[in-house]
Amino acid sequence: MSIVASLVLAAAGCGARSAETRQPNMIVTAWIAGPDSFNPLTAVGSAARMVNELIYTPLLAIGPDLLPRPQTSLAYRIDITDGGKRYLLHLRRNARWSDGAPLTSKDVVFSLLLGNNPNVLESSASDFKLMTSVRAIDRYTVEIRLSSPSPPFLENALGETLPLPEHILHRYPPGSEDEAKFVNADADFAQNPVISGPWRIVRSVRDSYTILGRNPRYWGPKTKLDEVAFRVYPQQDSLYAAVDAGEVDVTDIAPNLWRIHNRLRGDHKFITWPWNVTFLLLPNYHDASIAWAHDPRVKQAMMYAIDRDFIKAGIMSGQADILNGPLPSFSPHYDSRVRTYRYDPARARAILDAAGWKLQGNIRVKDGHELRFTLKTGGATDAVASNIAELIQANLRAVGMDCTLENEELQTFFEDLHNSRFQVALRGIILPAYPDDYRSYDSQQTRAAGGYNIGFYANPQVDRAIEAARSAPSMAVARRELDRYQELAAVDLPVIYLYSIRLGAVVPSNLAGYDLDPLAPAALPMGLQFWHRVNPPAAGKRSRK
């Protein structure tokens, strides 16, 4: 879409929401898909995850350095004893829910058990696989016991938990199927939640905007801004137009527009930082029509056939790193010995020939089966995804693989992805603070088991390496097993690895207090609790170049 067309769309979308989302001491941000639920256990999209992290108090906050941040955590201290198998959580005594009820150990125990329920839509059961018991010692102390030590448990299990109000959501035993059905279907709480974080929902109009205001009952430091608004725009390119038109203060910028960000009207600055997100092609191993996905040679040929150098330098304007295995190269846990794949179509053709896939016309065939599939993306909303998918399509056709594109609106794409309705999907995965792919690729972690192995990948060797790394008795052993997992994954290829990304966003030049967080659930700077303007403009005025 051209910039001119985007400006027209942005202006048309302004309408009645403009006045409500442009108030004094307010920052307006934007994205291309709004929140679908304000219940962390039923929310699917990245926008919902971001808002939920603002309206709830995390049990254990993780900072941009990927380490615990006690000052914004409900558990201000965690004692780990018994060789790493006993966790004692000390909770703040002044935390309250927005309805006035105290937030206590009863809520934490309930939330941990509910999050461990595999029948909840967004279950964290895989993170709690080693948890054998959780109980309240007293009103503000919780004890958790594990069957074995678990290096990822602190950051990934406790760090992913947003306690929910037991007095609102408890209808049945938290581990039961009946409770999961109740929580999954509770539309009232999903849209009108009882919350505990620094922000509260002032108003939310689905697919239009969400306004957050200061929560007067929040136990910790008060927000420096009165309100933050999140607007929804139809496409990635229209976010740029919205900033240029003066409707939006903060948004991510699509890579195809990074080179011209300095043309934006208004007083802005461009920021960039590494995102702990990998982009990849995920096969659905349960789909019999793409049985070729079980042959690592075909996937290795795809790695050689796709011009990831052009994705990095051309489509992503250099703000990406080529990915050869499960971890990005900036990760402190990255194994530099993993197998690498350079763009080499001739080698891709040779591998396919050796694997028995012979070219018949423009398509490769083996045992009567053609090497073709449908690639599902969120490209109807995301121009970058559409561009990358078109490049992949052309690259694969050049070696005899037929790829049909199915570009969907982002929300539809997330729903289809969540329910495994795809043959191959172009997706991004937000990696946890501590590397652990158990719930994404372990054969036991399908959705039915509470995990996110939505592609139904299975490899016993990979299972053993992942499970050994997450239950290692020491960090040295964990690192050794994590290296082994990376090396296995780079050969067997649970997915076709593409790239890790650096985020790019524009913010007002006088905005301060934000975090450049590698774990951000949406492509925006984080730490909104502490955002503030230095020398803010007078009400109703906007600086222009």
Poorest-pLDDT segment among 114-128, 367-381, 418-432: 114-128
pLDDT for res 540: 45
pLDDT for res 330: 84
Average pLDDT value over all residues in the chain: 90
Q: What is the mean pLDDT of residues 200-218?
A: 94
pLDDT for res 20: 55
**271 vs 210: CA distance, rounded Å:** 24
pLDDT for res 129: 86
pLDDT for res 19: 39
Whether residue 322 is predicted with pLDDT greater than 90 in this model: the reply is: yes
**Strand order from edge to edge, sheet including 131-138:** 75-81, 86-91, 141-146, 131-138
Per-residue pLDDT of 427-474, as tens digits, reads 998 888 889 999 899 999 987 777 889 999 999 999 999 999 998 988
pTM of this prediction? 0.78
Q: What is the mean pLDDT of residues 73-91?
A: 96
pLDDT for res 332: 85
Per-residue pLDDT of 132-165, as tens digits, reads 999 999 999 999 999 999 999 999 899 989 999 9
CATH code of the domain occupying 275-500: 3.10.105.10
**124 vs 135: CA distance, rounded Å:** 18
Poorest-pLDDT segment among 42-46, 273-277, 374-378, 453-457: 42-46
For residue 33, what pLDDT band results from cuts at 50, 70 and 90? confident
Per-residue pLDDT of 171-184, as tens digits, reads 999 999 999 999 99
Which H or E element spans position 353?
helix 345-354
Whether residue 193 is predicted with pLDDT greater than 60 in this model: the reply is: yes
Whether residue 308 is predicted with pLDDT greater than 70 in this model: the reply is: yes
Which position has the token pair 């976010």?
239
Per-residue pLDDT of 509-520, as tens digits, reads 999 999 999 988
CA 363 to chain CA mean position, Å: 35
Whether residue 538 is predicted with pLDDT greater than 80 in this model: the reply is: no
Per-residue pLDDT of 328-377, as tens digits, reads 988 889 999 999 999 999 999 999 999 999 999 999 999 999 999 999 99
CA atoms within 13 A on the CB side of 452: 18
* Beta-carbon count within 10 A of 154 CB: 19
Answer yes or no: same fold for 3-56+197-267+509-533 and 275-500. Answer: no
pLDDT for res 11: 35
Whether residue 304 is predicted with pLDDT greater than 70 in this model: the reply is: yes
**455 vs 490: CA distance, rounded Å:** 17
| Annotated domain spans of the chain | 3-56+197-267+509-533, 70-188, 275-500
Phi, psi of 521 (to 5 degrees): -70, -20
% of the chain exceeding 90 in pLDDT:
71
Q: Under CATH, which architecture does the 70-188 domain have?
A: Alpha-Beta Complex (3.90)
Rg of the Cα atoms in the chain: 24
Domain spanning 3-56+197-267+509-533: CATH 3.30.260.10? no
pLDDT for res 545: 32
pLDDT for res 10: 35
CB 501 within 8 A of CB 316: yes
